[in-house]
Amino acid sequence: MNWIQSLYETYEKCQNMIGVVGDENQVPLLPICHTTQKAQIEIMLDAKGNFRRARVVDKDEARTIIPCTEKSAGRTSGEAAHPLCDKLQYLAADYKKYGGEKDHYFESYMELLANWVQSGAPEKVRAIYEYVQKGNVIGDLVANRVLFPDQQGILFNQRPIEKDRNAPKDIFDLLAGGVDAKTGKLKSWQADAFVRWKVETGDGVAEVWNDTEIIQSWIDYYSSKKETKALCYVTGEESFSADQHPAKIRNDADKAKLIASGKSTSGKGKITIDDGCGFTFLGRFTYPDQAATVGFETTQKAHSALRWLMSRQGYVKDDLGVVAWAVSGAKVPQLTEDTYDALYKGLDTEEDQLPVDTAQEVGIHLKKKIAGYRQEIGEREDVVVMAVDSATPGRLSIVYYRALKGSEFLERIEAWHETCAWRHTYHPIETQDEKGKAKKIYIPFYGAPAPADIAEAAYGSRLDDKLKKATIKRLLSCIVDGQPIPRDLVESVIRRASNRIGLKEPKDKFEREWNKALSIACALFRKHKERKEKFEMSLDETRTTRDYLYGRLLAIADDLEEIALYKAKENRATNAARYMQQFSQRPYQTWKQLHEALTPYMARLGGAFFHKNLIAQVINLNPEALEGNKPLSGEYLLGYYCQRKKLIDERKERRQKDDSANQDNDNANSNQ
């Protein structure tokens, strides 16, 4: 099944979702011949086309479903009017009168709207037509203080006076047009506003973007204007062919197209085809239809389904878009999520209800979640994974595509979250403090990290967007196809985790960036070695491999010095942290230096017999293996992490016991 066929079938199976608007940030599944725009102005008319009132539209309710043509749906510049709702540049006859600087397309808008009205459009559309042809749209908006002109009658391009903080939002809050070179203030060219309509009828107020009669009327009218029929390569049936294909796949501002074709032109004696994006076919085809034909209705439905899926459940960052979906429309786990998001996204995040689970509990939850997905989508249901990216603003390409059965897809997702799992503490949760102020807390969770987090752990949080995208695309085949983690990626994460002192340290005592790199390095190394050896996520005190033992020794030295510095109220990095990178390259030599440097800290702690004995126990497990300066593998990070966590947990447990004993003593004294 190819991508456009699977999307077309998804649309057909999700007819009940057409036009359903949920979250304002999500694009609804659109009817054919329709697109969405963010409106800034809403004008109310009566049934006879008389102006009643207007208002500025709040950002939370700005998304508007509007009728469109094939040309206007993908317009970037030039004359391509929408037939009903559009910018003032198109529907205001007095655009130039109030200082409009762009080309004025009022006549093309009126011609399109008039043809629709003459074909038998609903009376609500006729009311809009009657009002617009009066030619006073901007004048009415100025009179109602929605738009603001200067003394010469020219619309301001920035707020004329400072706004009161408590004042309601106005048009200047919604339209940003760059910074004025002279004043340095933010421009807000009011004439760029997008207008939508409401019409008062005998049955109430009709919102044209939600009116099913208007939506169906435009579909019927525009479909009747199609003339050319051809074989649709997707459905295998003869249907009206598409002249152009939709854009806006990843977001509202996305102008890139997956399929692009345009008019044929001749140049320098050769017949060429310009696809509208600057790319030209020379000599191979004289007309776009000679390459392939896709039905008008087919491409509209397929692109609408992809846009809906990307907005609803996909990952979109910069130019990269990744989404997995069941053809039935049921939600499936997303490849770009970590285990926490896959299990707990959308749950209440009250601090006392946060899910802090053991690795075993997470495994049980994951199996139950996968079982739920399996029951919803079925064993034989088709599941598609698709990633798109663009090299230029006008061209969009499919960089990854897989079609699997539901059971196979879920097995691979489950395997990824189980085999690439570790304990992580970098996941932020937004909650509130006692005073009701927002605060961010970091919670521990067991599972696989998200591909975007792996990229940041490997190359830093300030990595180039292209490198981040490339890394995520490489990881898709690891998750879906079961391919091994790329060795260079694993080694890069291990190097960064070893360079503890070189990573950014936030003001709080937790080194967030380094802790994140460390836990992700452990997860990737564990995944990388899964076919040869199994590593536990808890401390294995019977393990005698050289790298694991050296990691334990480093953790003990780090913990000992950290306690000594804390008691002395010294705020600096430990020697173990400072020499960690050197330790990974020359462990035998560096351990001697670290061990000698521990002497004054042992004395400060009264001998530090617990740590001293623990060091001896680790060395005695395999003293011969610890000789030699061969560089350490990522296994030493596993030993370091597990030993460090056990020491911290034991210290917390002792502190809790002491606090409990003190509380019992206080209660006993108060009773005497």
Angle at 86 between CA 84 and CA 90, to 5 degrees: 100
**What are the residues whose beta carbons fall under 8 Å from the beta carbon of 422, sequence distance 6 or more?**
446, 447, 449, 519, 520, 522, 523, 526, 537
Cα dihedral 80/21/303/329 (nearest 10): -170
64: which strand partners?
37
Report the 3 state secondary structure along 466-509.
HHHHHHHHHHHHHHHCCCCCCHHHHHHHHHHHHCHHHCCCCCCC
Residues in the chain: 672
Whether 288 and 273 have beta carbons less than 8 Å apart is answered as yes
Q: How many helices (H) and strands (E) does the chain have?
A: 23, 18
pLDDT band with cut points at 50, 70 and 90 for residue 267 = very low
Query: 274: pLDDT confidence band, cut at 50, 70 and 90?
Result: very low
Tell me what pLDDT residue 271 has: 37
Query: Nearest to residue 553, comparing CAs of 510, 605, 611, 609?
Result: 611
pLDDT at 506 over 80: no
Instruction: Decide the pairing of beta strands 194-201 and 41-45.
Output: parallel
**Region of residue 205 (phi > 0: left; psi between -120 and 50: alpha; otherwise: beta):** beta
**If you average pLDDT over residues 337-363, what whole number do you get?**
70
pLDDT band at 503 (very low <50, low <70, confident <90, very high): confident
Contacts of 440 (CB under 8 A, 6+ apart): 428, 429, 430, 431
Short-list 578, 548, 549, CA closest to 561: 578
CA distance 79 to 374: 49
pLDDT at 509 > cutoff 50: no
Give me the amino acid identity at 93: A
| Lowest model confidence (mean pLDDT) among 154-163, 205-214, 493-502, 595-604 | 154-163
- CB count within 10 Å of CB 629 equals 12
pTM for this predicted structure: 0.86
DSSP lists the bridge partners of residue 65 as: 36
- The total of other beta-carbon atoms located within 10 Å of residue 212's CB is 10
- Residues 37/65, Cβ–Cβ less than 8 Å: no
pLDDT exceeds 90 at position 304: yes
Which pLDDT score is estimated for 107?
94
Q: How far apart are CA 277 and CA 291, in angstroms?
A: 17
Alpha-carbon span 489 to 471, nearest angstrom: 8
Of 156, 145, 155, which Cα lies nearest the Cα of 186? 156
Distance (Å, whole) CA 400 – CA 479:
12
Average pLDDT (14-20) is 88
The pLDDT, as a whole number, for residue 180 is 56
Residues in CB range of 672: below 8 A, 6 or more apart: none
Distances in Å between the alpha carbon of 148 and those of 95, 144, 166, 580, 619?
Answer: 13, 9, 19, 63, 79
| SS3 track for 289-312 | HHCCCCEHHHHHHHHHHHHHHHHH
What are the start-end ranges of the H helices in 229-314? 296-313
Instruction: Take residue 176 and report the two structure tokens written for it.
Output: 């940003």
Judged against a pLDDT cut of 90, whether residue 638 lies above it is answered with yes
- Give the three-state DSSP class for 557: helix
pLDDT score at 282 = 54
Percentages of the chain per state (helix, strand, coil), in multiples of 5: 45, 15, 40
Phi and psi at residue 652, to the nearest 5°:
-65, -40
The pLDDT mean for the chain works out to 86
Instruction: Return the closest-CA partner of residue 65 out of 78, 49, 90, 82.
Output: 82
Q: What is the pLDDT averaged over residues 117-141?
A: 95
Q: Return the half-sphere exposure (C-beta side, CA atoms, 13 A cut-off) of residue 328.
A: 15
CA-based nearest residue to 420, from 448, 444, 445, 446: 448
What's at 31, amino acid-wise?
A: P
Do residues 518 and 497 touch, judged by C-beta distance below 8 A? yes
pLDDT of residue 238: 85
Residue 613: band (very low, low, confident or very high) from pLDDT cuts 50, 70, 90: very high
Q: Which of 109-123, 256-270, 292-306 has the lowest mean pLDDT?
A: 256-270
Residue 667 has pLDDT above 70, yes or no: no
Are 420 and 449 a contacting pair, CB within 8 Å? yes
Task: Enter the tokens of residue 191.
Answer: 């004439």
Per the CB < 8 A criterion, the answer to whether 194 and 41 are in contact is yes
The torsion defined by the Cα of 57, 59, 63 and 67, in degrees rounded to 10, comes to: 40
First-to-last alpha carbon distance for the chain, in angstroms, is 81
Residue-by-residue DSSP string for 335-370: TT--HHHHHHTTS---GGG-----HHHHHHHHHHHH
Average pLDDT over residues 256-266: 65
Cα–Cα dist 553/189, whole Å: 65
User: Tokens 């000594």 correspond to what residue?
Assistant: 564
What pLDDT shows up at residue 191? 85
**CA-to-CA dists, residue 635 to 197, 484, 549, 550, angstroms:** 64, 17, 9, 9
Q: Output the CA torsion sign for 199, 201, 207, 209.
A: negative
